[in-house]
Amino acid sequence: MTAPTPEQLPRLSPGAVRLSAALHARAEKATVPRATVMEAFTAALPGTARGEDSRTALATLLEELSDAGTLRLPHGQRNKWDAGRPALPEQIRLPAATPRKPAPVTTRRSYRPELDWAHTAYLTSAHHEDLALINRWFRDTSNRHEFRVPIPLRERSYEIFQDEKRLDGLLSGALFAPGRLTLEQLGTFREPPPLAYRLLGDGDTLLVAENSDTYATLRDLLTPNPGRTRGVAFGSGRAFEASIETVKEIHGIQRIVYYGDLDPEGLSIPARASVTATQCGLPSVEPASVLYSLLLSHASTPGQMVSDERAHTLTAWLPPRLRRRTHEVLLSGRRIAQEATNRNQLAGDATWCP
């Protein structure tokens, strides 16, 4: 499998970026054993790895990296998965383009103190070419602190590489593994996309809808009597995986409740966003259980076929009472769009309010 270019990849969640970088720094060959995956997970996301939902978080991130083409999971081979739920692979495979662990490249370059680790790290000549440009930036700005004032990622990337997307491509690789480069060192940050929301009351809950029409329905129906709902937000599909960071700007939010489609993408989004939320000090993302229960009362339509292992990973985010029925929907290659619970139905049933 050939590694996709940054332009071909969907924007990875912050947790997936960190895990990918840690995996690439530790991989001695294309096939990476379970023990190495766990080491990388603990190094990249120590708080998440020690949490009670660590298995679900790791399974979710591995599926995300698999979807993006940055690693391959064992499909159709039950002996390559453990017996837990969700199951975790006994090994993964990095793209064929990833070299086996090379000997340190002999270089006469003299790196600045920020890059001391590069003298002994296992890096390719291509890595050293990127580091040469980063090293020059460290040198040129060493006594000019005004040039290290943080600016957005793609602006800094253009400044260093004359390529606004180069840092995007490097973040999930070996150069940004734990103990190596950081965005803080480069005076940059990933700016999360804005989250569209409407404040309704004084409660402690943010209710997020995946799609725009459902967002409008929930907003309008909750406006007269919001209860615990402080605001309703439009997740805008996968954008929510990154925009969830901006929930920190909404005062008083102690719960984040999500409602989306019952399909692989709709279930992946909140699970990935939940990992990001806990990493930045927000509460984890909860399923809007009553809304999902209502959604399961509707007929399913053709969707995407998934494996049994992936169906278990996707449904792990839901409460136990909804997992079996949702698993059956996914395994049959069906889906249920959240728009099935339309405004007329919800207007006549107040039990769904979070």
The identity of residue 25, as a single letter, is: A
Among the candidates 123, 158, 189, a domain finishes at: 189
pLDDT, tens digit, for every residue of 326-346? 999 999 999 999 999 999 999
pLDDT of residue 124: 86
Please tell me whether residues 144 and 272 are part of one structural domain.
no
Is residue 41 in a domain?
yes
Please tell me whether residues 250 and 206 are part of one structural domain.
yes
CA angle 309, 13, 71 (to 5 degrees): 50
Taking residue 290's Cβ as centre, other Cβ atoms within 10 Å add up to 14
Give how far Cα 313 sits from Cα of 63, 72, 84, 323, Å. 8, 16, 10, 10
Among the candidates 189, 215, 238, a domain finishes at: 189
Please tell me whether residues 57 and 132 are part of one structural domain.
no
Question: Averaged over 69-81, what is the pLDDT?
Answer: 82
Please tell me whether residues 200 and 185 are part of one structural domain.
no
Q: For 10, phi and psi rounded to 5 degrees?
A: -70, 155
Give how far Cα 171 sits from Cα of 106, 119, 132, Å. 24, 20, 16
pLDDT for 4 beyond 70: no
Residue 314: band (very low, low, confident or very high) from pLDDT cuts 50, 70, 90: very high
CATH number at residue 217: 3.40.1360
Please tell me whether residues 171 and 218 are part of one structural domain.
no
Is residue 42 in a domain?
yes
pLDDT of residue 7: 38
The CA radius of gyration of the chain, in Å to the nearest whole number, is 22
Is residue 315 in a domain?
no
Please tell me whether residues 39 and 83 are part of one structural domain.
yes
Among the candidates 132, 162, 189, a domain finishes at: 189
CA 178: distance to chain centroid? Answer: 17
**Average pLDDT score over the chain:** 90
Domain that holds residue 41: 6-93
Question: Averaged over 127-153, what is the pLDDT?
Answer: 94
Please tell me whether residues 117 and 180 are part of one structural domain.
yes
Total domain count for the chain? 3
pLDDT, tens digit, for every residue of 184-230? 999 999 888 899 999 999 999 999 999 999 999 999 999 999 999 99
Burial class (CB in 10 A: 0-12, 13-18, 19+), 122: middle
pTM attached to this predicted model: 0.83
* 3-class SS of residue 229: strand
Burial class (CB in 10 A: 0-12, 13-18, 19+), 288: buried
Is residue 13 in a domain?
yes
